[in-house]
Structure 1
Amino acid sequence: MKKTASAHWQGGIKDGKGTISTQSGALNKVPYGFNTRFEDQPGSNPEKLLGAAHAGCFSMALSKELGDAGMTAESIETRAEVTLDKQDGGFAITAVHLSLHAKIPGADRAAFEKAVETAKNGCPVSKVLNAEITLEAVLDSSL
């Protein structure tokens, strides 16, 4: 299974503007720029999108793990805090902290903790943070 997303950017790093879209149309030319990424202005940026993807993926994975353990969540609320740090030569995403609040009537604490750990390590977005990244590049330098 393959899904696609795309980004369009025009201009320089500080004065430029871009949009992000997904194949499904859930995101359709959502604007982003330097101010939404580095100046905490309203809008989207890659770290927020990664955080949303990680929180959603983890929540679904946890639901599956809970079901496998005979539990059903009434609600799962997950918040992802993505850390972008300045490093030598640029920036890097150095951490993602997930905060979970789950309401599961009659849950067994040990089984819950095992399900949480398995979901944290096993959700596809957790895994992609260490994935091989491949790239194909095409340059159009015509005027």
Structure 2
Amino acid sequence: MITKTASAHWTGGLKDGKGQISTKSGALKDQPYGFNTRFEDKPGTNPEELIGAAHAGCFSMALSMILGDYDATAEAIDTTAKVSLEEKDGGFAITKIHLDLTAKIPGISEADFQEAANTAKENCPVSKVLAAADITMDAKLVG
């Protein structure tokens, strides 16, 4: 089993409060977040952005692994995850995640590429943990 650690520190109320997010690796160190970074597009991060980064990264790695089953290696995999937070049932919920994938993979057919991309979307560990959200994807093979 692999265990990774991240932490958050918060002070104050919902709208006037402030927080910092850190990861044990140091990739994030006291990164600011708050109501304004989440709901008002102010500088800083927010949980949805971090979930998107985790999902895009995990999916891209999973796709690179799955491409091995097709004897293919990517020159480039570029994935953007759009995470939607919506008001639902008197609160908020992450309801949708859309993956935009553009990849350059020499020698793979369009059909095999789409199959590999869908397999990665369904089976990467982050997709599995986020399965309550509607996860969609546009996958484009270039070059």
Identity %: 69
In 2: Cα distance, 1:118 partner to 1:43 partner: 33
Q: Output the CA distance in 2 between the equivalents of 1:43 and 1:111.
A: 39
In the alignment, the residues of structure 1 paired with residue 69 and residue 107 of structure 2 have an alpha-carbon distance, to the nearest angstrom, of 15
Query: Which residue is equivalent to 1:135?
Result: none
How big is the shift at 1:98? 0.2
The residue type equivalent to 1:42 in the other structure is P
CA shift for structure 1 position 114: 1.1
* Higher-strand-fraction structure: 2
Residue matched to 1:46: 47
| Secondary structure in structure 1 of the residue aligned to 2:73 | coil
Consecutive unaligned residues in structure 2, runs of 5 or more: 133-143
**Is the radius of gyration larger for structure 1 or structure 2?**
1
1:75 aligns with 2:76: yes
1:41 is displaced (CA, Å) by: 1.3
Please state how far the C-alpha of 1:92 moved relative to its aligned partner. Answer: 0.4
Divergent runs of 4+, >2 A:
none
Aligned residue pairs total 131
Letter in 2 for 1:65: I
Residue 95 (structure 1) aligns with: 96
State the partner residue of 1:9: 10
Deviations 1:86-113 (A, max 9, x none): 1232110001000000011222112111
TM-score, scaled to structure 1: 0.88
Root-mean-square deviation over aligned CA pairs = 1.1
Unaligned segments of structure 1, at least 5 residues: 132-143
